[in-house]
Structures are given as C-alpha cells and as structure tokens.
Amino acid sequence: MKNILLVALLFPLAAFAADADYTLVISDHRFQPSELIVPSGKKIKLLIVNQDATPEEFESHALNREKVIAGNSKATLYIGPLASGRYPFFGEFHEATATGVIIAR
C-alpha cells in the first residue's frame, strides 16, 4: 500500500520536473546557480531541488515568495511576471551560505 502511494506521488513529480522553466539546486546549503537569468514580463515556473538531507526555506522579499523544501525533495513555485531588475533570494534556514539572485532582463 505504501509503495503504491509512493509511486502515485512520483508520477506528478516526474511530470512537473519535465515542464519547469527554470531549476535551482540546493546542495551543501548553497544555491546552484547562484545567479539565474530569466526573461522579464513573463510568468516563470521555478523548480527547486533540495539535495541536502535537511529542509530549506526558499525566501525572497523582492519576489514576495517563501516556500519550505524538505530534505532530498523538490518543489515548484511560480514567480513573475517580473519587471527588469535584480531579485535577491536566500535560504532562510542557512542564510550565511544560501544566497542568490534572479536577474530579469
């Protein structure tokens, strides 16, 4: 029963991994890439993959977004449409190392 549930959960995971517009990877409490260039004026689907064992919270005041990503898992969120500019973000649980910026052009 538990396996069926897991498989059922993996299907949408695989599906949304494929059509994400942009991906950020968290490993060793850092974002990869730390600079992400996206087109301005367009809604963007962002996939965040947390490869660390510990949870992280993606947060950006400039983007007005926050989302917890459990350890070793993925999550999607939508941002924009953005005006041209720099939008810093950080991992709230590891603010010392997990920082980055989304640049909209």
Partner 1 sequence: MFGTVIIVFREVLEAAIIIGIIAAATRDVPGSRRWLIAGLLAGLVGSAVVASFTDVIGSLASGIGQEIFNAIVLGIAVLMLAWHNIWMASHGAALASSARSVGGDIRDGRRACSVLFLIVGLAVLREGSETVLFLYGIAAAGSGGQSSMLLGGLLGMTLGSAVGYMIYAGLLRVPMRWFFSATSVLVLLLAAGMASQAAHFLIQADLLPSLAAPLWDTSAALPENGLPGILLHSLIGYDARPAGMQIVFYMTALITIVIGMKWANRPRIAIRSTTGAV
Q: Whole-angstrom Cα distance, residue 30 to residue 40?
A: 25
Beta strand residue intervals within the chain, DSSP E:
22-27, 30-32, 35-38, 44-50, 56-60, 65-69, 73-79, 85-91, 99-104
Name the minimum Å distance from CB 74 to partner 1.
Answer: 7
User: In the complex with partner 1, which residue's Cβ is closer, 74 or 103?
Assistant: 74
Q: Which of 22, 23, 32, 77 binds partner 1 (CB under 8 A)?
A: 77
Q: Tell me: does residue 88 bind partner 1 (CB under 8 A).
A: no
Q: Which of 71, 84, 85, 86 binds partner 1 (CB under 8 A)?
A: 71
Q: Whole-angstrom Cα distance, residue 19 to residue 41?
A: 19
> Are 79 and 59 within 8 A, CB to CB?
no
Q: Which residues bind partner 1 (CB under 8 A)?
A: 9, 12-13, 15-16, 43, 45, 47, 53-57, 61-62, 64-65, 67-78, 80-81, 92-93, 95-96
